[in-house]
Every structure is written in C-alpha cells, then in structure tokens.
Amino acid sequence: MGARCQQKKPAASGQQQSLPTVHGIHKDISMKEEEVAEEDDMEENSEHLSHMTCGISSGAEGGSQVTCGVPMYRDKATGAPYIMPLYTEPVGPKAGLSSSEKAGAGGGAPVVFSSPAAEAEAARAQMMEAAASTRIRTEAMNLLRGFLDNAPAPPATSSPSGFLFKGPGMPSKLFYPIPSKTSPSGIEMAADIPGISGFDLEAFLAAKKRTSEDCKREARDPFGRHRWVCLQSLQTAALNGKYAEIVVPANEDGRFGVRVQGEPVPKLIKKENLKPIDDAETLQVCRLAAKGESQFIGGYIQNTRWPRAILSSMSGTVSPISVKLGFPLHVTRVQARSKLSERAEFDNQWATYMLIDPRSGFAPDEWQSFVGPVVVWRPDGDVSSDDVSLLNDFVSNLLNGPYCEGTLEPDRDLTPAAWARHRERTLENLRLNPRMEQYEDLHI
C-alpha cells in the first residue's frame, strides 16, 4: 500500500483532473518551465570538448596571453573554446613601439620609425616576442603532457569525468583533474583562442548564483517544485491521503502538476486539494540525479525535503563508508523525473562511490550499473548537497590514492578522526580561495 498521510474527509466539491489523453495514453506535462535558462543557453550553443587546449589570445594593447587548460565547451558560433585555465603566462605589448606605432601595427596606417636604429630595435623585439611565445607554448605543452603522462592510473571503479559544470559527473566543489575514460586524452594547440576574453566569468558565476538562490527560494515554498504534499478532498477517493511530489508550477487554471508516489504519470490537481506537509514531518535529503535525467529544477545534486513516512517505508542501503566515518547515511533509489532507457542514462557515480566496500573499494554489482536516481538521508538529521559533495571528495581521494596503491588501512583511513581531518583541511583550503563555492550547509 505504501505510506499515506493524514487527511480530511473528502468533500463533494473537490476535483481531480487527469491530463488529456491521445489514443488512451496520457500526454506528458510540458516541463519547459522547469529548465534553468542559463544552463540551457550554454548547452544549446555549445559543444563539449574532451581534451586540453593551449592557445594565445590577443590583448587590447597588442600583447597576448598563453592559456592552457581544460575546455568547458566550444561556442558553435565563434569556435572559441572557453577553458578552465591550468596554466597562464602573459606576453606583454610589442616592445619598442610608440603609441602611434602600436596603433598602426594592427594593419592600419603603416608604422613610421624615428630612425633606422628604432626600426632595428622594434624588429629585434618582435623576434624576441616570437621566440618567447614559442618557448612559452612549448613549456605549456610539456607541462600538460607531463601532467597527463604522470597522472595516477584510474581505479577499478571509474573516476568522475570532471571539468563540466553540468551533470552527475561534474566535480563537487574542488575543481581538480581526475583521470578517467572521459578525462582529457590529448593536447590541442590552437593558433588563437578567439573570444576567450569575451567570456565574462563574473557574469557567468553571478547568473549561476541567481539560479541557485531561485531554487532555494522555491524549495522554501510549501508549493514549490519538488516539495511533497498530501492529497485531500478528491472525488477519486483512492487518491485521498496519498503523498505526491509537485513537478510543475500552477497553470492558469490554478492546477499543479503532481506525481503521486508510485505512479508514473503526473496529474493536474487544484491547490485546495493539496495539503502542505509541515517541515517537522520531513527531513532534508540530498537527491542525486541519474546521468540521463532531465526536465527538473535544482541541479543534479539537490537539497530537497522528503516526508519521513515515505523514507521509512522505502527499502534502501546504508553506506558502509559512512558507517566507518561515524555518520550512517541511507542511500535509497527513487523514481526518475524523466524516462531512462539506455544503460548509461542510469549511471549515478556518486551513489556508486558511497556504496563501495571499505576494504576492496568495489561497490556491489547492484550498485555498479542501472543505479538510477537516489536520495541520501539519515533518520536522525538533515543531509545536504554540501555534505554529499564533501564525502565524494573524501572517497575520490581514497580511490585515487590508498585504494589504487593498495595501501588503504580501514582502521587508519576510515575513521571519524580521518573524516575530521579531511573536513578541516578542505574548509581551510576553501577559505583561502574565497572565489570558490564554499561548503556552508554541513551536518556531518
């Protein structure tokens, strides 16, 4: 039967409306309003890359900058590979030229030198700049090639693909390269990086922050998306008392799109038939989306509140690693928010990491494939996306270190004291880098 919530007796005036059907099949609710505009714009106008990029971008004063790093995406319109820099070295403006000479150096008026000696000096400066540019590019390429050649081998369980801002393979809060099947496998030497100066990082981060704040505001709204409600006073008596998740905001008729627990097709129901669930009856959980999920708000790693009654009624698995660290976390498979078909769409790497065996570093077979979305929770308190991100950092470090090297000792490396050291060290590193997103909502 599943969990049911407390509810009033049904009233005759209550109505419940199913979605219109085509040949007896329910139409899907339009989820376009659930997509985050900033992420969609980037996704639609970009092409993901999978290699290191080195190139030179021209400066406003005639100088240039060698930048090497991880491409986030390539703009389809301009071809510009926007990258996360790992190595940057500026090359100053052309030496030996006056302001007027600099103005003509770009192909406008011819350069006029005050004397043959000045012309010779300018030519020598240009040759030196070309040599420096070549040296810098070579050093950058060797540096990055050395990084790739000397990177530790990936563990038996595949590591996070990293580098992209979107998706379940994204890095948590600490952006560092981890070799895996989808990590950079080569170095691209670009003659120029057009438009790299046109990528406004501050504006991008500000838009990302606004999106995050909007999601948090909606999460506080009792009728916000992905909040749970109790159905009441419906003419369809079998639905009364059931829990449902709001998946689409109210339409012009005041009806919300809700997905009843355990049912695949959402329904449109009036607000008066939805009873908000008091926070005292819920727990904050961290929902980890599957790789192929779409059509939802809040990100792949999302804070949300679930009724205690639903969580306790569902089967799940306790993370062995978390038990060793002193804060047992439950990992429970939940219903996907969009259709998952291919095996890869069910991937949920972070969930797999949480279920590894403390000694072997391998997850059970049932948690290695067809995992799907999960919620991470604990009966005695809240769990946040910051908690899970910090734990993923911890496990990733172990998989790429002691587990990979065969030196892990559970009684030394998997203890509350080891967790406390990792937590303190990570928070201190973040404090020293205030521009990085901070862990602010920690409960474990």
Residue range 359-413, pLDDT digits in tens: 999 999 999 999 999 999 999 999 999 999 999 999 999 998 899 888 999 999 9
Looking at the fold, whether 193 and 286 belong to one and the same domain comes out as: no
Last-in-domain residue among 170, 199, 228: 199
Examine residue 62 and state whether it is found in any structural domain, yes or no: yes
Last-in-domain residue among 199, 229, 264: 199
Q: Please report the pLDDT score of residue 294 as a whole number.
A: 79
Residue whose C-alpha is closest to residue 355's, from 344, 369, 341 = 369
- Strands (E) in 319-383, as ranges, are 330-333, 374-377
Examine residue 19 and state whether it is found in any structural domain, yes or no: no
Looking at the fold, whether 289 and 425 belong to one and the same domain comes out as: yes
Token reading at 36? 């985050």
Examine residue 354 and state whether it is found in any structural domain, yes or no: yes
Token reading at 126? 């240009």
Examine residue 403 and state whether it is found in any structural domain, yes or no: yes
The residues near 333 (Cβ < 8 Å, ≥ 6 apart) are 316, 371, 372, 373, 374
CA atoms in the 13 A half-sphere facing the CB of 109: 9
When divided into structural domains, the chain yields a total of 2
Whats the size of the chain, residue-wise? 444
CA atoms in the 13 A half-sphere facing the CB of 31: 19
Examine residue 226 and state whether it is found in any structural domain, yes or no: no
Examine residue 230 and state whether it is found in any structural domain, yes or no: no
Provide the CA 233 distance to its chain's centre, in angstroms: 40
Examine residue 421 and state whether it is found in any structural domain, yes or no: yes
Q: Please report the pLDDT score of residue 132 as a whole number.
A: 57
Examine residue 2 and state whether it is found in any structural domain, yes or no: no
Q: Please report the pLDDT score of residue 307 as a whole number.
A: 94
Last-in-domain residue among 199, 222, 244: 199
**318-360 residue pLDDT tens:** 999 999 999 999 999 999 888 899 999 999 999 999 999 999 9
Q: Which domain holds residue 130?
A: 45-199
Q: Which residue numbers in the chain have pLDDT < 70? A: 1-2, 6-212, 215, 295-298
The contacts found for 104-107 with CB under 8 angstroms, 24 or more apart, are 105/62, 106/62
The residues near 151 (Cβ < 8 Å, ≥ 6 apart) are 177, 179
